[in-house]
Amino acid sequence: MSKKVLVLGEISDGSLRNVSFETIAAAKTIAGDGEIVAVLVGEAVESLAKEMIHYGADRVVTVEHENLENYTSDGYTQALTPVIDTEQPEGLVFAHTALGKDLAPRLASKLDTGLVSDVTEIDQQGDDVVFTRPIYSGKAFEKKVITDGVTFATIRPNNIDPLEKDETRSGEVASIDVEIADLRTTIKELIRNTTDGVDLSEAKVIIAGGRGVKSEEGFAQLHELADVLGGAVGASRGACDAGYCDYALQIGQTGKVVTPDLYVACGISGAIQHLAGMSNSKTIVAINKDPEANIFNVADYGIVGDLFDVVPLLTEELKAL
């Protein structure tokens, strides 16, 4: 198997998001012995090209324009269309992020092709590339094989391991000139909503609080534990509705979908809508004073107890390590 696959590098605050490297690893499975072409779109992105090559891209195409400083679906569509027209890739892989979720369906429709979204696993089985994706809010998984046309997939962050970084790799970096005009939207100001400076969807450790945390002050204890572990703080909708924290922290069916290495659920009952956003986390620790709480059904480790005793104790013990 040998295909040309195009991946889109995602840039945040002037750096490549980790998921960009995961898209390269995913593309590798689709490309086989073929070529991986990374595209970087933005205002001044050429300096990031080398990193994409170190993580496995064979070639990088940059599209730079002052109107591309911030993402707009219009601007990025105008930027990527000529690249796709020139490269004629047989596959495309984007991240299943806010950007990818917005852009990929638009481009798939333009290319008159299908899209496998929110992929958590890609395997080579014989001649087939098999995509695994969650359905019914994570209660089941389906496996898909694309038999016709361009293979277009978005991958869920934190699920596919990046290839090992190899700083000896080299590859061509070329820029392409595009006219970005008549944008229907322009970004006047960007207000970022991250927790502890860590993007929830890419965080390796998440300390999440529910209604059991009881107050904004209660959340301060979760922030302390998150700080010790270099993680981010998330929340259930119960906690957001109660005003203990910002809705940007909400995890679940109507919030963010996360897959950290470690998810610590504090005072969260484990409603199905919450599980939809976190049940694929690699290791789940639940702290709840109710031994019958549903969260224990998905937890790898359960602590039955008062979170106001357990969380400070954990923080102290971990600090001492």
Q: Which of 105, 211, 223, 229 binds ligand FAD (CB under 6 A)?
A: 211
Interaction between residue 246 and ligand FAD (CB under 6 A) = no
Q: Indicate whether 212 belongs to the interface with ligand FAD (CB under 6 A).
A: yes
C-alpha dihedral (49, 180, 85, 32), degrees to nearest 10? 30
Residue 304 binding ligand FAD, by CB under 6 A: no
The answer to whether residue 254 forms part of the interface with ligand FAD (CB under 6 A) is: yes
- The count of other CB atoms within 10 Å of the CB of residue 23 is 34
Q: Please, which residue, 23 or 195, has the CB nearer to ligand FAD?
A: 195
The encoded tokens of residue 158 equal: 């934190």
CB of 283 to ligand FAD, least distance (A): 19
The yes or no reply on residue 250 touching ligand FAD (CB under 6 A) is yes
Using alpha carbons only, give the angle 202, 214, 219 rounded to the nearest 5 degrees.
35
> Phi/psi at 184 (nearest 5 deg)?
-80, -20
Q: Note whether 268 binds ligand FAD by CB under 6 A.
A: yes
Of the candidate spans 94-102, 161-169, 197-205, 271-279, the one that interacts with ligand FAD by CB under 6 A turns out to be 271-279
Task: Confirm or reject binding of residue 239 to ligand FAD (CB under 6 A).
Answer: yes
Q: Where do the H-state alpha helices sit in 158-262? A: 216-229, 237-241
Rg (CA), the chain: 21
By CB under 6 A, what part of segment 109-128 binds ligand FAD? none
Please, which residue, 98 or 181, has the CB nearer to ligand FAD?
98
Site of interaction with ligand FAD (CB under 6 A)? 210-212, 236-239, 250, 252-255, 267-269, 271, 273-274, 277, 287-290, 293, 306-308
